[in-house]
Structure formats: structure tokens, C-alpha cells
């Protein structure tokens, strides 16, 4: 099964992707997490990406296409995968197609900008392992500490309100056109965001007929 999670920043792509990943026993590939790790480790890709990320801008397509090609070539992707946060532009989607990659479904989580802005303020991110939490909707057991690895939980720089506004603008301009792109290919599965994570998961599974 090859899936794409589409949706605005903070729509719940990572959360739902992780649940699907466990259920289907296939990895989730998050370009955001790969890039944050690269920034943290000071790799050449990280150095290239950092200023774009801090400003809430998209990292150039060539960088992303390189990262994804490398990751999808790894052994654990053989039986399928879930892409989270990629493709984010038509050029990235075309590059995947040109590499002969055919997706089974594209789950598009639909949520209003207002709800996103409210939600992002409470989002927390583990600096060590990349796990995400929410102070109200999905809190860690101990405040500020990652359940999975004990790392420190922080508000991402790009989750700060002014940057979130800009990221939403980028989403509408650059990423939302992907809905038409995949609709034309007959694989778009829109899912309305629900009041709880569990209810959204149910809606996602329904949309995928699993
Ligand atoms: P995310 O964690 O998916 O919200 O990504 C955080 C940031 O990483 C984005 O705001 C972009 O700067 C960058 N990024 C992640 N994935 C992509 C992508 N597919 N194309 C361009 N930039 C990306």
C-alpha cells in the first residue's frame, strides 16, 4: 500500500500517518522530520534547508526530491509506505510519477485555517525523536517530557503564530492544487477533520475501505 497524507500544516497528517503505519505495518516517511534531523545534525542538506524552514517557506524541490528518492530506496519501503508532508508541490508530485511511483490513495484531511491556528499553539515536538504531542488533545504523560524517549518537548519555531499564518498561505498556494492533481487520477480521498483523533482515524479508515 502506498499512501499520501495531504492537508494543511497541523491538520493531523503525522498523527494519522503514525496510526496507519502501525495498522498496516509500513513506514511513515515525513520529510519534515528528515529535514529537522538534518538541521540538528548540521548536514549539508540541513544547512541548505534551515533558513527556509525557519521562515515557514518550502525547501526547494530538488532538495526534497533527492531526500525522498534516497529514503524510498531503503529496504523497509519495499512493501509500501505512507508519505507525510510530501509531495507539497505539483513539481514534487510529477517527480514521484516520473520515478514510476503509483499511489493507491491520497488522504486529504480537511480542516479550517482558524482551527489550525488554534491547534498549532498547543503542539509540542520532541527534539530528540520527532514524536509530536498536543498539550490538550494528545498530552505526554509527564508535561514537557517525551513518552517515547524521555527527550524535551518544545514548540517548533515554525509553529509560532506569525509563521503558521505564512505556512497556511503557502499551503493554499502551493500544496492545495495537489487535490485536483490526484482527483484527476481518481485516488483523492477527502476526510473531514473530526473532534477527536480516534474519530478522525475512523473516518480515514472508512475512506480507505479498511
Ligand atoms: P512539516 O513538518 O511537514 O510541517 O515540515 C516543516 C517544514 O519543512 C516545512 O515548513 C518546510 O519548510 C519543510 N518541508 C517539509 N517537507 C517539505 C516538502 N515536501 N517540500 C518543501 N518543504 C518541505
Beta bridge partners of 190: 108
Whether residue 88 has its Cβ less than 6 Å from ligand 1: yes
pTM for this predicted structure: 0.89
Q: Does the active-site annotation cover 88?
A: yes
Distance CA 94, CA 51 (A): 25
Ligand 1 center to 87 CA (angstroms): 9
For ligand 1, is residue 52 a contact (CB within 6 Å)?
A: yes
Q: Pick the residue whose CA is nearest to atom 8 on ligand 1.
A: 32
pLDDT number for residue 137: 82
71 is catalytic: no
* Bridge partners of residue 28, in order along the sequence: 82
Output the pLDDT for position 26. Answer: 97
Nearest to 30 by CA among 7, 62, 54: 7
pLDDT on residue 130: 87
Centroid of ligand 1 to alpha carbon of 58 (angstroms): 6
86 Cα–ligand 1 center, Å = 8
Q: Which of 8, 18, 31 to mutate to test the pocket of ligand 1 (most atoms within 8 A of CB)?
A: 31
Catalytic annotation, pick one of 36, 71, 88, 189: 88
Question: What pLDDT shows up at residue 47?
Answer: 95
Q: Do β-strands 188-192 and 153-154 pair in parallel, antiparallel, or remain unpaired?
A: unpaired
- Cα of 171 to ligand 1 centre, how many Å? 10
**Which atom of ligand 1 is nearest the CA belonging to 87?**
19
pLDDT of residue 178: 98
Label the pairing between strands 188-192 and 105-110: parallel
Q: What is the three-state SS of the chain? A: CEEEEEECCCCCHHHHHHHHHHHHCCCEEEHHHHHHHHHHHCCHHHHHHHHHHHCCCCCCHHHHHHHHHHHHCCHHHCCCEEEECCCCCHHHHHHHHHCCCCCCEEEEEECCHHHHHHHHHCEEEECCCCCEEECCCECCCECCECCCCCCEEECCHHHCHHHHHHHHHHHHHHHCHHHHHHHCCCCEEEEECCCCHHHHHHHHHHHCCC
pLDDT in tens, 40-76: 999 999 999 999 998 889 999 999 999 999 999 999 9
Residue 88 is predicted with a pLDDT of 98
Q: Which residues of the chain have pLDDT under 50?
A: none
Do 31 and 68 form a contact (C-beta atoms < 8 A)? Answer: yes
Amino acid at each position: 500500500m502506498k499512501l499520501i497524507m495531504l492537508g494543511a500544516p497541523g491538520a493531523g497528517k503525522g498523527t494519522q500517518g503514525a496510526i496507519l503505519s502501525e495498522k498496516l505495518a509500513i513506514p511513515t516517511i515525513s520529510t519534515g522530520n528528515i529535514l529537522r534531523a538534518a538541521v540538528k545534525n548540521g548536514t549539508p542538506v540541513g544547512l541548505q534547508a534551515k533558513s527556509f524552514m525557519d521562515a515557514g517557506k518550502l525547501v526547494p524541490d530538488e532538495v526534497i526530491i533527492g531526500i525522498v528518492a534516497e529514503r524510498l530506496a531503503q529496504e523497509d519501503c519495499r512493501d509500501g509506505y505512507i508519505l507525510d508532508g510530501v509531495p507539497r508541490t505539483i513539481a514534487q508530485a510529477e517527480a514521484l510519477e516520473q520515478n514510476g511511483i503509483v499511489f493507491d490513495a491520497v488522504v486529504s484531511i480537511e480542516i479550517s485555517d482558524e482551527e489550525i491556528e488554534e491547534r498549532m499553539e498547543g503542539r509540542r515536538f520532541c527534539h530528540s525523536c520527532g514524536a509530536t504531542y498536543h498539550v490538550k488533545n494528545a498530552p505526554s504523560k509527564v508535561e514537557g517530557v517525551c513518552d517515547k524517549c524521555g527527550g524535551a518537548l518544545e514548540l517548533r519555531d515554525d509553529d509560532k503564530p506569525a509563521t503558521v499564518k505564512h505556512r497556511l498561505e503557502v499551503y493554499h498556494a502551493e500544496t492545495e492544487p495537489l487535490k485536483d492533481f490526484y482527483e484527476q487520477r481518481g485516488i483523492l480521498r477527502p476526510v473531514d477533520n473530526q473532534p477527536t483523533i480516534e474519530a478522525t482515524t475512523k473516518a480515514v479508515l472508512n475512506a480507505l475501505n479498511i
